[in-house]
Structure 1
Amino acid sequence: MTQRILVVGAGFAGMWSALSAARALDMAAHANDGVEILLVAPEPTLHVRPRLYEVPQEAMKAPLQSVFDTVGVRFLAARAEQIRTDAQEVDVVDVAGARQTLAYDRLVLAAGSQLFRPPVPGLHAHALSVDQYEDAVALDAHLRKLALQPSSLARNTIVVVGGGFTGIETAAEMPARLREIMGGDIEPRVIVVERADAIGPDLGPGPRPVIEKALKSQGVSWRLGVEVESIDAEGITTSGGERIEAATVIWTAGMRATALTQQIPAERDAAGRILVDRNLQVPGVPNVFVTGDAARAATDDEGNVAMMSCQHAMALGRSAGHNVAADLLGLPKIAYSQPKYVTCLDLGPWGAVYTEGWSREVKMEGAEAKALKHQINTEWIYPPTGDRAEILRSADPGRIVVA
């Protein structure tokens, strides 16, 4: 009787989970007879989400079907709707609207995260984002449509809500992007609104001087210690009472794990991530592994926890895939460990800033860091290529990407 490893999600963590599970089964030689790896996602495509603040959007989608076919992962185009851990079943709806129930022997939940949209008046009706591929396409279409309108302060103004990683990268990209779309003679006004008292609050004080220097040099300004109280078609009103006229509002403030985590009887953090053990299993829930943005996982023995980031999702996926296959076959698991933490923050045409460690010590900035960011964004985070052996080698959970 065929046993099934079911992977939900085709993002960074889901893709690498499936490939790493295939590697583990392959290494177990004949022990993988009768084991199916089935990945469920709306389409066999990796959306390169860390790049969605950039253009062109066409480069932000990478096909996966040939990769899966090469290593023997079966793909089903469907969306998971209901997880029943007591019955070891997942209900899915395919692209035609047909429903079916999938049984599993082991489950890997890797359905990622989405932008947090609180009940701010006008947010859903008027704010744009770079959260998903379709959102990035909609933003680009919106900006190009604005170019057909007469120049005005509001037309030439973009408010970016949230001064975190995504907000900073988006804001840094916008002045040059507006000039390219609307003409080089305009004066773009890009304003970041951040509720904390400093730009990049989660990035700490290390890279902040570089970030502030880069943003200021490109004409980006910010409002700190205030929140957005309302959004309308002409702009925003802040909690401080300021009215900012803007035809474009981009919301980047906060992330939440997939709502599917609510269907697993487990402890969750404030972002909805399930607390997992070092093998990425859910304590007290047999045969269920959670990875990527859906998991709150320790990266080391020093108390550090994986971020909702591509950097961590890829390694979490490799670990989850190996461990789910090892668990099914009764083989030794490999505890997830990722003690080296780095950031490489894109700062638009000015360059980038690269830091190392959880204290985020600046190691590179400007053009040198920008070259590294370009390599990361165009090479490192894309799906593996080559023959079966090459793809499986790339899925090794012991692979060190950042030395």
Structure 2
Amino acid sequence: MRILIIGAGFAGMYAALSAARLREIQGVSPEQLEIALVAPEPVLVIRPRLYEPKPETLSAPLLDVLKAIDVTYVQGSAETINTEARTVQIATTTKGTGKGTRKTLSYDRLVVATGSRLFRPNIPGLAEHGFSVDTLNDAVALDKHLHGLTRRPAVNGRDTVVVAGGGFTGIEAATEMPARLREILGADAKTRVIIVERNNAIAPDMGAGARPVIEEALRKVGVETRLGAGVASLDQSGVTLSNGERIETETVIWAAGIRAAPLTTQIPAGRDNFGRLLVDRDLRVPGVTGVFATGDAARAACDDDGNHALMSCQHATRMGAFAGNNAAAELLGVPTRPYHQKAYVTCLDLGEAGALFTRGWERKVEMVGDVAKKTKREINTVWIYPPKAERALALASADPERVTDV
């Protein structure tokens, strides 16, 4: 028997850990139940931190962890899913040669943990001139560009950064940027950072309680806002907004929305407006035998009150643990565990203004400033990293009922 997991993000990693945990509990050998994880590289990209400097350091190796728990790593990218034949075609590329091969793996249970991608609309100039912090390569490219600004004359918006999108990613990228620019360009540089948000309020999802904290933080670090307007076009020297305003800049960071990875379209099932597969409480894809979806690839109910998992690390880790457990449970003939996640917190980095910590779907403010920043650092440097490559500790970390139980 084989469980095949596609994706080595937070959901995929915890799916592998949790499936291996249940296999161990049931006394089943890896020869009887193989757990295989498919990903281009055996690393976990610490995606929630890609707005920070030195993004090239923001990944963690997974190979030793996977070996410690007897999970097979399959190098490659899943290209084709055949749910009737229960097979996945995987493309591999040999480093340094550019040559690739293809192989097909069968599965008894499939866990789709393919994550999400930044949504890039067809805005003139965006593909050519826009940056992002969506992937490790994107963040490295932005960092290289920022350091390259020192070789350009300090005119025509060189020291201005425009961030398109006033949600979580946009705010974290923007509030970190003044310090990054001063570090690169010098303390005397006349830097500007501007968030452009189509809604009439910054952080539209945060609510009235948290928003004043964010607005004060933006003022404190010197980030401007343009509300009720979007980016209409980009070129090499600036952006034009939908209200006609022109901002001279050589750096535009796109942070305006994400969608489930395109591979989900190969599963013959319902999806939401974000491309996420609709799943039941066990994270199965209804009507598609043997397929589970998790993390940013799935739209799952968190509770009985109408709340659904967000496309976030916090939800992906716990959803991954439930998906992996349940895929293994079906094959091992033991009861599945319905996914639930009533606890929900938000910890938003606000650069030199500290951070904001809220609890609950109503986002009640619990901590602000330096106190919240300490918690944010702990989340970013400890909590979201893989467990140590020690079998007992790694397996224990994936108890579905305890993962991200905050």
- TM-score for both structures, normalised by structure 2: 0.97
Counterparts of residues 3-402 of structure 1 (less than 5 Å): 3-30=1-28, 34-96=32-94, 97-402=100-405
* Gaps in structure 2 of 5+ consecutive residues: 95-99
Output the CA distance in 2 between the equivalents of 1:175 and 1:32: 51
Amino acid in the other structure paired with 2:92? D
- 2:331 partner SS: helix
Question: Which has the higher mean CA deviation after the structures are superposed, 28-37 or 234-243?
Answer: 28-37
Q: Deviations over 1:149-173 (max 9, x none)?
A: 1212500100000000000000000
- 1:206 partner SS: helix
Deviation at 1:34, TM superposition (A): 1.2
Amino acid in the other structure paired with 2:2? R
Asked if 1 retains the 8 angstrom alpha-carbon contact of 2:81 and 2:87, the reply is yes
Asked if 1 retains the 8 angstrom alpha-carbon contact of 2:131 and 2:252, the reply is yes
Question: Which has the higher mean CA deviation after the structures are superposed, 92-101 or 165-174?
Answer: 92-101
Output the CA distance in 1 between the equivalents of 2:326 and 2:248: 52
* Gaps in structure 1 of 5+ consecutive residues: none
Deviation at 1:206, TM superposition (A): 2.0
Deviation at 1:349, TM superposition (A): 1.2
Asked if 2 retains the 8 angstrom alpha-carbon contact of 1:278 and 1:298, the reply is yes
Amino acid in the other structure paired with 1:330? G
Deviation at 1:328, TM superposition (A): 1.1
Deviation at 1:329, TM superposition (A): 1.2
Asked if 2 retains the 8 angstrom alpha-carbon contact of 1:282 and 1:290, the reply is yes
Output the CA distance in 2 between the equivalents of 1:272 and 1:401: 25
Deviation at 1:58, TM superposition (A): 3.2
What is the percentage of aligned positions where both structures have the same residue?
58
- 2:157 partner SS: coil
Output the CA distance in 2 between the equivalents of 1:152 and 1:210: 33
Asked if 2 retains the 8 angstrom alpha-carbon contact of 1:31 and 1:329, the reply is no
Asked if 2 retains the 8 angstrom alpha-carbon contact of 1:319 and 1:335, the reply is yes
Deviation at 1:402, TM superposition (A): 3.8
> How well do the aligned residues superpose, as a CA RMSD in angstroms?
1.0
Output the CA distance in 2 between the equivalents of 1:30 and 1:150: 65
- TM-score for both structures, normalised by structure 1: 0.98
Give the count of matched residue pairs.
401
Q: Deviations over 1:106-132 (max 9, x none)?
A: 000001000000000000000000000
Question: Which has the higher mean CA deviation after the structures are superposed, 25-34 or 347-356?
Answer: 25-34
